Amino acid sequence: MIKIEISKTLQSKIRKGYPWVFRYQIQNMIPEERQEHLGVVYDHKNRFLAVGLWDPCSDLCFRVLNLGAPKEISSDFFREQLQSAVKIREDLKSQGTTGYRVINGENDRFPGLVLDRYEDTLVLKLYTASWFPFLDELCELFQKEFKSQQIVLRLSRNVDKFLNDKSKYRDGQVLYGNKNSGWVQFKENGLKFVADVIEGQKTGFYLDQKDNRLKIMKMAKGLSVLNVFSYSGGFSVYALVGGCDSVMEVDSNPFALETSLRNLKLNFPEKSFPSKNFIQKKGDAFQILAQLKSENYYFDLVILDPPAFARKKKHKTLALDAYASLAKAGAQLTSGVLYTASCSAHVSGKEFYDAVYLGVRSTGKKFEEIARTGHAHDHPAIFPEAFYLKSAYIKIS
Ligand code: SAH
């Protein structure tokens, strides 16, 4: 194993559960030709501190697998970790949910690995190539646990970029089973959805917004709803099931809008869409919001769930400007509730809420915060960077 030396400060952070070491934090020389995929950290008294995945191709080059006591990284180890992850999601099936996150990376002690389940399909998403040597044993383990029909591999941009032509692996590859299309059907809180797990965004569906969608359903009765950045229509379906009066969706991606229509038809087979109380607008959200304002549109509930504006730290300032101007545009279009979210890991909760209130305040309207929320409980978070989803419900007068 690669031996990694780090500062005392970082040692104590890791001892408290922080799971990452970046390249610039390593204090010893590690020859480039070393190809191991496991690393170990000892403290300044040469006591074992942590064992983890070593990824020489990434700036985030060490991710903790096990802390405190030496442990063999074997199938038994992975099985134990998987059992704990499964346990905290046990109640989901009885709530009518068959599409959910089974493993949330570092937070379930599988650093850099996400496993989403869509009924009998599993989607394994890797954020580090260091998992490749373990892939066969992981597939066997997951397959045994879930009796799944297929396992699909998805790769983060960084891992995908790093692979060469000779690699055994590629994004969208079916690791197990024989699936020739990416479409899967599943349930969330008893509602039906389809997702394309090969071509779709994330692993196919924004599973992290489950609890917020339910909250929207509960407040939707009789309301006119504007769902901006609607993707595959999750919020729209919940709002309509909750008895809302109308929905207008906005998204720039035609595939997203088509998928949303499929999801509406699945849940309301007797109705046809689009209809007089369900319309879609394809295009840039910022432009469409401005246009709606100039045409004096008003909605009782405005949902703003944009993509991660800050994928890199250097984009943070631009992202905060975008959150502020969206919140302003959203607040101008309602005298009801504004729901606004950010999934940018590089933007902290405080920075996001400050930007949102800067935007809302600039409308001159009165407002009051109703609630702040994050991800659903199948997305546990154990360190600051893992709390990426932040959102607020704001009453606008
Ligand atoms: N609310 C969704 C998830 C939103 S993901 C859900 O619950 O499932 C972000 C969406 O924003 C994607 O569908 C993407 O196509 C869309 N998008 C990204 N940039 C956009 C822009 N400038 N204008 C409109 N839509 C945009």
Same domain, 372 and 261: yes
For residue 148, the domain's CATH number is 3.30.750.80
Measured between alpha carbons, how far is 25 from 9 in angstroms, rounded to an integer? Answer: 11
Q: Over the stretch 304-329, which tens digit does the pLDDT of each residue have?
A: 999 998 778 788 999 999 999 999 99
pLDDT surpassing 90 at residue 204: yes
Same domain, 221 and 339: yes
Mutate to test the pocket of ligand 1, among 252, 288, 326 (most ligand atoms within 8 A of CB): 252
Residue 378 lies in a domain: yes
Mutate to test the pocket of ligand 1, among 251, 291, 301, 321 (most ligand atoms within 8 A of CB): 251
Of all residues in the chain, the percent with pLDDT exceeding 70 is 100
261 phi and psi angles, rounded to 5 deg: -60, -40
Q: In the structure, what pLDDT confidence band is assigned to residue 163 with cuts at 50, 70 and 90?
A: confident
pLDDT averaged over every residue in the chain: 95
Contacts of 256 (CB under 8 A, 6+ apart): 201, 230, 231, 232
User: 67, 89, 106: which is the final residue of a domain?
Assistant: 67
Q: Over the stretch 49-64, which tens digit does the pLDDT of each residue have?
A: 999 999 998 999 999 9
Q: pTM (2 decimals)?
A: 0.95
Total domains in the chain come to: 3
Segments in the chain forming alpha helices (H):
8-15, 75-87, 135-146, 157-162, 210-219, 234-241, 254-267, 285-294, 316-332, 349-361
User: 150, 185, 220: which is the final residue of a domain?
Assistant: 185
- Site residues for ligand 1, CB cut-off 6 Å: 206, 209, 229-232, 234-235, 250-253, 256, 284-285, 305-307
User: 35, 67, 99: which is the final residue of a domain?
Assistant: 67
- Mean pLDDT for 20-48 is 90
Residue 227 lies in a domain: yes
- Ligand 1 atom closest to residue 213's alpha carbon, by position in its atom list: 7
Q: In the structure, what pLDDT confidence band is assigned to residue 250 with cuts at 50, 70 and 90?
A: very high
Q: Residue 335 C-alpha to ligand 1 middle, in angstroms?
A: 24
pLDDT at 313: 79
Measured between alpha carbons, how far is 95 from 377 in angstroms, rounded to an integer? Answer: 13
- Mean pLDDT for 19-27 is 95
Q: Over the stretch 86-141, which tens digit does the pLDDT of each residue have?
A: 999 999 999 999 999 999 999 999 999 999 999 999 999 999 999 999 999 999 99
pLDDT surpassing 80 at residue 362: yes
Same domain, 171 and 279: no
